[in-house]
Structure 1
Amino acid sequence: MTIPKGDLPPLILMVDDNRADVELTHEALLELPVVPEFQSVSDGLAALEYLHQRGAHAGARRPDLILLDLNMPRMDGRATLEALKADEALCDIPVVVLTTSESERDVLDCYRKHCAAFLTKPVTVEELIGKLEAVCQLWLSGVAALPRRPVRH
């Protein structure tokens, strides 16, 4: 994976209330050839606060990719995905659902709400690294064309 010189590394925002999953994902990302920056929030409401740079997230950088869990308190991943894709300022950020659900209904619902991909959380760290490497290769390396937006600091 290559990043143009002078650009900031890609930023991944993970939306997940399970601290162990967040830490494991962060550790797995550190194993990739090009390590993206990583931020996390614990639910959909916190994600919207982050993305709209409100409160404690004033000045937060816009993520290049969102990893979204489905089952969270306050605002779950389904409602969060719907809100993101309905928001003109946020709808072009790729959202990859990363969840324990294997429900065909969840898969179909998430794709109908325009997720970029639906991944089931793997059992082993090696599988997680492989899935994250594939996601980063597609969405963060320039393989998939994404709209260019000014970088916000």
Structure 2
Amino acid sequence: MKQKVLSIALGGFMLAAMLAPTIAEASSKVFYWSFDMDLRAVDGSRNGMYYDLNKGDIDVSGQIWPDKQGVNVRPVSVFVELWRDTLGADTYVGGRTVVPSSTVGTRTKFSFSADGQPADQYYLYFSKAEDDYWDLRGSGSILNDY
């Protein structure tokens, strides 16, 4: 009798486990990036800095700071862009404009997001409209939620 009760209990437990809805856990991965900008642009595709991202949401965050003062009173704005490497012309995913501090070493934070992106290789592109002779540095991360 004891064995029959255990068999029924075990069978009921297994049936409940199979019928219970499965809960999918969200996964994510993080990539870290950095750059030294002594001229007008830093192009991740030319530097071989690609990030293999899964289908899902992408969050880019970081900070930019002047390392050496240039000829202007303050550094010109930096365009921070995320691109998807595709066959033919690459696809612009998103970005933002960052105005660096005019004080050497003072960091300016930024972030932007791109939701629902396909799985592919991506890269960052940093540029200024003109070379103002300010040397800039930057670092940050790319968070891929899938």
Specify if TM > 0.5.
no
Instruction: Tell me which protein shows more helix as a share of its residues.
Output: 1
Q: Which structure would you say has the larger RCO, counting Cα contacts within 8 Å and 6 or more residues apart?
A: 2
TM-score of the superposed pair, with normalisation by structure 2: 0.32
Bigger Cα Rg: 2
TM-score of the superposed pair, with normalisation by structure 1: 0.31
